[in-house]
A and B are shown apart, each in its own frame.
Chain A
């Protein structure tokens, strides 16, 4: 087992010093699934930015224009794909292709913004709880536990339904009010996602703060703030990157689920979940209405999950118990 280092022809084996990023990249570039995920996400970002307007320009069909004359039959049912309407029409006789392209924007905005805010809150709470421990930890962790024990979808439905019944949204406290629409959906996702991140960050912080380099830094007279920002935070970057990547598809699915239940973004805003809500009404006839938006939804979440799994392997992140 403990063989002496072999020397071939009297030449000692070369040891190359590699930076953390080089090590990551060496592993990551071999992971074809993860690269595929990353590439797909790149394409989706392009679609989210330019896809809607380009689709409108190519087909000549504006996003919210209704084509009752051509795209609805005499019963008012939507018609399927034609050469002019590539994906057919949605429940309101709009061009489904154009709507689906615009839907990418909604999904990615909600996914990225909600995950970003949730990670930021979770990071702060988790680091404080893990670093200071004691009563602060107990309060923050128990709050998180109770949040995770909530019937999340149900409470979200309740909040969205209550806040959407009125144009001004609902007043949380004084001037802080949540307006119905995209912001409300993002807020609801954040409320139920941050405890998950906070719990993970707390676990990592607890183990990092016991490491020798933190002790060394402390013995050099570093303040708590310096230790948190210069010693602990950089070491959290791996887990943060991985779990943000894995939280994004969850957020996208949550928005889609709310929109599917008719409670997500306003009906005029194109959203894949909203289109699937339409599909629910015509589920025994209009296959295109469920197929195309759902396909884009699955490709998107699959791409983020592939990338997240790949990043986890390449960055060697494991959840601390």
Chain B
């Protein structure tokens, strides 16, 4: 188990480093124009530019700068550990920027994930059990719509209909929890639903297919032959086995949304990590982008480990040696 963990950890660190390096390369090498110009004030002099170049290590080749970045990250900077540097945009520490925005994204993702896990699996099971009935057809039709409809369209339409016309929820923008749980909830319910819809569709299709496949296995026939009730057969024998692949993508999907919910955060003006990264990307603010990428990559690594543990719980055949 320990050896397994160590190997997993090493591979994860390697992937994170490569992902960071490619991100670095894209945002460092591609943009035209000197980021130092943004710090140098209205009338930059050659001397002040050189001074900024030196401070940001922009005078060195990119791999040296990448080395500085990794070193800062590992050892920490004047803001403490982990060192993420300062935004090129406003010279605010990236670390404080991320800490401020992370709760918004975490609330968004946690709420949406709860919704899509419950409804996705429930619809999938219902569809599989009622296979080839009208219930199945309606559910799968809905799922197909869910994977076809873009989040930004659903978001805009739901804002217009539910908030503007019906006045049932809060509009766009983020209301912190400290302003009252009611206001917070009424501003979060639309983003949760809209973000969850795509995943409900994916999970419903996946659950249905997996469950149908599992229900065709020999041990299910054995369970039925033993005289177990249909409920026990489906939930204890069938569903448990078909949930393993779902656990895998569930962990990964959640992790990727940390910093990846760019569209949802943009439609509902939530200004979380995805928004920070998006803003960084269009203004070529490398440190902000890297900060969010690191958050996402870390989330992916952690969730992968969690998924492995859950796997062993769901599937008794899995043992780690």
- A158 pairs with B30, CB closer than 8 A: yes
Q: Which of B148, B164, B277 contacts A298 (CB 8 A)?
A: B148
Residue A149 at the chain B interface, CB threshold 8 Å: yes
Residue A249 at the chain B interface, CB threshold 8 Å: yes
Within 8 A of A (CB), among B109-162: 144-145, 147-150, 152-153, 156-157, 159-160
Encode A228-265 as 1/0 by CB contact (under 8 A) with B.
00000000000000000000010001001100110100
- A150 pairs with B22, CB closer than 8 A: yes
Closest beta carbon of chain B to A3's beta carbon, Å: 21
- B259 pairs with A283, CB closer than 8 A: no
Q: B147 — which chain A residues lie within 8 A by C-beta? A: 305
- B263 pairs with A257, CB closer than 8 A: yes
Residue B282 at the chain A interface, CB threshold 8 Å: yes
Which residues of A are in contact with B by a Cβ distance under 8 Å?
Answer: 145-146, 149-151, 153-155, 157-159, 161-163, 165-166, 170, 249, 253, 256-257, 260-261, 263, 273, 276, 279-280, 283-284, 287, 290-291, 294, 297-298, 301-302, 305-306, 309
Chain B interfacial residues counted at CB < 8 A: 44
In the docked arrangement, what's the CA distance between A283 and B164, Å?
9
- A151 pairs with B23, CB closer than 8 A: yes
- A157 pairs with B282, CB closer than 8 A: yes
Residue B26 at the chain A interface, CB threshold 8 Å: yes
**What are 24 sample pairs from A and B whose C-beta atoms fall under 8 A apart?**
A146-B19, A149-B15, A149-B300, A151-B19, A153-B260, A155-B26, A158-B27, A158-B284, A161-B281, A162-B27, A162-B284, A170-B32, A276-B150, A276-B156, A280-B152, A283-B159, A284-B164, A290-B160, A294-B149, A294-B150, A294-B157, A298-B145, A298-B149, A302-B144
- A154 pairs with B153, CB closer than 8 A: no
Residue B18 at the chain A interface, CB threshold 8 Å: yes
Closest to A262 in B: B282
Per CB-CB distance, the 10 closest pairs between chain A and chain B, nearest first, are A294-B153, A162-B30, A301-B148, A157-B281, A302-B148, A162-B31, A158-B281, A290-B156, A161-B282, A166-B32
In the docked arrangement, what's the CA distance between A11 and B257, Å?
64
- B150 pairs with A149, CB closer than 8 A: no
Q: B256 — which chain A residues lie within 8 A by C-beta? A: 151
Closest beta carbon of chain A to B267's beta carbon, Å: 7
- A150 pairs with B19, CB closer than 8 A: yes
- B30 pairs with A159, CB closer than 8 A: yes
- A154 pairs with B260, CB closer than 8 A: yes
- A261 pairs with B278, CB closer than 8 A: yes
- A283 pairs with B160, CB closer than 8 A: yes
Encode B238-270 as 1/0 by CB contact (under 8 A) with A.
000000000000000000100110110011000
A157-B153 CB under 8 A given contacts A163-B30, A260-B263, A283-B160: no
Q: Which of B19, B266, B284 contacts A149 (CB 8 A)?
A: B19
Encode B1-42 as 1/0 by CB contact (under 8 A) with A.
000000000000001001100110011001111000000000
